[in-house]
């Protein structure tokens, strides 16, 4: 009787192992497909904010250039006889 129990346990283990392996394979195959990369990059969404921040800086750079040019002109006039 012990042989029949051992055989029946062994017979039951094989289908269980196959069922577990099949479930693992099925779950592994259920991954979503990868989305293709878009051909062109999306437009930036924060351009208005960036422009609002950079506008005063650009104006300051323009004023700085004007001041430097005026200073250079003043020095040229002062140095010339």
The long-range contacts involving 31-37, CB below 8 angstroms and separated by at least 24 positions, are none
Residue 32 has pLDDT above 50, yes or no: yes
2 or 16: whose pLDDT is higher?
16
Whole-structure pTM value: 0.35
Give pLDDT tens digits for 61-75: 999 999 999 999 999
The counts of H helices and E strands in the chain are 2, 0
């Amino acid at each position: 009787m012990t042989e029949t129990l051992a055989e029946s346990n062994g017979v039951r283990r094989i289908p269980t192992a196959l069922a577990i392996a099949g479930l693992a394979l099925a779950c592994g195959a259920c991954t979503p497909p990868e989305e293709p990369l878009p051909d062109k990059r999306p437009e930036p969404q924060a351009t208005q904010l960036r422009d609002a921040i950079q506008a005063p800086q650009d104006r300051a750079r323009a004023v700085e250039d004007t001041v430097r040019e005026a200073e250079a002109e003043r020095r040229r006039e002062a140095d010339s006889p």
